[in-house]
Each structure stands twice: as structure tokens, then as C-alpha cells.
Amino acid sequence: MKLKSVDKFTTVVIYLLAGIAAIMALYPIYFVVIASISSPDAVENGLVYLWPKYITFEGYEKVFQDARIWMGYRNTIFYTLAGTAISLLVTLPAAFVLSRKDFKARNTIMMMFVFTMFFGGGLIPTYLLIKDLNLYNTIWVMILPFSLNVYNLIIARSFFESSIPESLGEAAKIDGCSDIRFFISIILPLSKAIIAVILLYYAVAQWNEYFKALIYLRDENLQTLQIVLRSILIQNQSFDGSAAEGFAETQNLFDLIKYAVIVVSTIPIIMVYPFVQKYFTKGVMIGAVKG
């Protein structure tokens, strides 16, 4: 009886700590959402903490009135879909090949990949290389040159090594299955968990991409959502503060726009999580425990 009581107490403590952690993680997002539709004065005075006060959608109106926002959404959605697809197309086959023990050069090649995680050419050589490849200021600079992430490659490789038995490949060879068909018809269907995890990692990175667009894109029609939102923020922040009566009003509007911009840029990608959650929980632990 005492043991059961201890187990129940432990369970209650674990759930309590997990609940506190969840609140600490989710409340900032919730606060930004309610602050984006509340009066800036109420937010500044600390009246907004659980529910919105004096609801207004002026911040969203200002953001969505800018035609650039729709262009930014269009470009970012394209970069995210195309970039994620190409990244998966590159990462998964490479990880599978490097996981094969009969591939003698796999350790040497893997060391070359890992080397790039610690040492890089730097911004200027990369910039010059992008220009020499005629990728500068094109849609392809957001998709092709940085399509492989070594960290994701290591995760996928660990999955294939620990979760795909060698006997499966041997049986496929006996049945006359080629390596390509074995990978497409057998490996990929068995790897839904890790594919979902890597897809999510690549999609989030592509959606939040800011630095590459800032450095390699000059055409406004090619800019990402993050760059467009930055421009909107800068544009609305640069007000004339000489008139004291207009200063506070403009500052309040800018505060509304800041919260609206955060919601506009984060909510769409957050909505992707429920669709991959059942695979994410399993796949994110790949390589942590073997056996």
C-alpha cells in the first residue's frame, strides 16, 4: 500500500511539473496573441495577462493592408515547400547510403560532412561562390545551395542504422530487388517517423529563413515573409516624433503592429505540428536509445 501511495504521489508531482512547464512554454505565445488584439495602453499598463482588453484589430489591418505581405507569404510558402522537398530528396538517400556497413568509404565521407559543422568558408567566400554559380538574386539561392543539414543527416543515418535490420536488405537482394527499389519501396515506408521529424526541422528552418534572404536577395518580388515583416516594422517605426500629441498614438500603433507581425509569422508554421505529432514523438528520440 505504501508503495502504491508513493507511486501515486510521484505521478501527481510529475504531472504537476509537466503542467507548469507547459504553461511556461505556451503562455508567451498566448500573451502575444491576446496582446495583438488588445489596446496598447492596456498592455503597457499591465491589464492584459489572461484575456484581451478593449479588443481592436487595427494592428492586423495595418499589416494586411500592405500588399507586400501577400507576396511574402507566396514566396515563403514556395521556398518552404520546394526547399523542404529538395532537402529530403538529398538527405534521406545520403543518410541511407552512409548507414550501409558494406559501403567502405562511409566513415571517411561522414567525417567530411561532420567537418563542415565545425569549420566553414565564411560569409564572403560563400557570397562569391553564390555569385559565380549565378544563383545570386534568384529563387534557387533559397533552395539549392543550403539544402543539406548535417545534423539532420546524422539523425537519419542513426535511424537507418538502428531501426532497419541488415537481414531485410539481404532478403530483398535474394528476391532480386535493386538498391533503389529497396530504398523507395521498403525503406521509405518504414521510415515515416524520421521523415516526419526531418520534414518538420527543414520546414521550420525554411519558413523562418531570414539571413539568406537578407544577403542573397535584392529583388523585392523574391523577398521572404520575414524580410517583408521586417520592412513593415521599420517603416512603421520611423515616425516623426516632433509632434508630442502624435508620438504616443504612433507608438501605440507600432506596438500593435509588432504583436500582429509575430502572430502572422508564427501561427501558420505552428499549425503544421498537429499533423506530424504522432510521428514526431517517436522519431525525435531516434538514436537516443538503441535496442
Q: Are 164 and 99 in contact (CB under 8 A)?
A: yes
CA 229-269-127 angle, to 5 degrees, is 55
Cα torsion through 35, 41, 45, 51, rounded to 10: -30
> Measuring CA to CA, how many Å separate 76 from each of 84, 152, 174?
12, 21, 46
pLDDT digits (tens, 9 = 90+) for 41-79: 777 777 887 888 888 888 788 778 877 888 888 899 999
C-alpha cell, 182: 529497396
Residues 79 and 63: their CA atoms lie apart, in Å, by 22
Domain ranges of the chain: 1-56, 62-283
pLDDT at 290: 46
pLDDT digits (tens, 9 = 90+) for 104-157: 888 899 999 989 888 877 888 899 999 999 999 999 999 988 899 999 999 889
Q: How confident is the model at residue 216 (pLDDT cuts 50, 70, 90)?
A: very high
Residues 2 and 22: their CA atoms lie apart, in Å, by 30
| CATH homologous superfamily of 62-283 | MetI-like (1.10.3720.10)
Residues 143 and 146: their CA atoms lie apart, in Å, by 7
Calculate mean pLDDT across residues 20-44: 85
